[in-house]
Amino acid sequence: MKKILLAILLLAATSTPALAQISGLGGSMPDLGSLIPAGEGSASGRIVQLVALLTVLSVAPGLLIMVTSFTRIVVALSFLRSGIGLQTTPANLILISLALFMTFYVMAPTFDRAWNDGVLPLTRNEISEEVAFEKISDPFRDFMAQRVRDKDLKLFDDLAAEHLGIKTEVGATPLRVLIPAFMISELRRGFEIGFLIALPFLVIDMIVATLTMSMGMMMLPPTVLSLPFKVLFFVLIDGWNMLVGGLVRSFF
């Protein structure tokens, strides 16, 4: 009991200087506005902005997939692995890493423009958040507008006008219309490239299957024999160089 009382007295003694300091500043605890950096809005407005910023950062990988070249590249690489017949080689980590670095290479001009026009002036307090958002989104808007199919864009234009009551003006397509149209356009192109990738491997599978059937090897799966030939074929034609070069050139 004496130890507990002694601990309480020590706690009261150490808290007295802090209370005296607070009372010397005006006798009240600091308000929330003094703890949050000053901005154009009130403290509650700044809290909403901080929550929105954290939300955007949490969905940043999804934004990277939606508005960049990542979709087309990763779909093509997936078709390559399926066409060869290797389920786990190269590993998912390797394919995703390669797709990410290829995306950074293709999107470098867009990233540089968004950084110089939007992010850098915002960090210097030269422009507001609203202006910065427009400056940052304009390079990605131009990138998507140059590569989206007119048919896909018209589809989402019609859907937005029919269900959302949004009429798109000429040359001012909103992001809610442009992004999904760009994504399905990229998926279409990715599947087109994937067909061209898988076709030679399909021919090799058919040749090996015909040979095994003619030799009476009914119980031997053709894929077991065709796998080494497909890997050898891909290595001999320098497939990685051709595929990566073709994917990068398809954006320029």
Looking at residue 135, what is its pLDDT? 86
Tens digit of pLDDT for each residue in 105-122? 998 999 899 888 888 887
| The pLDDT of residue 15 is above 70 | no
Position 46 scores a pLDDT of: 67
pLDDT tens digit string along 147-171?
888 888 888 888 877 776 666 665 5
What are the pLDDT digits (tens) for 211-224? 887 777 777 777 77
Specify which of 65-79, 147-161, 168-182 reaches the highest per-range mean pLDDT.
65-79
- How many CA atoms within 13 Å lie on the side-chain side of 148? 27
CA proximity to 37, closest of 26, 25, 45: 45
Q: Which pTM value belongs to this model?
A: 0.71
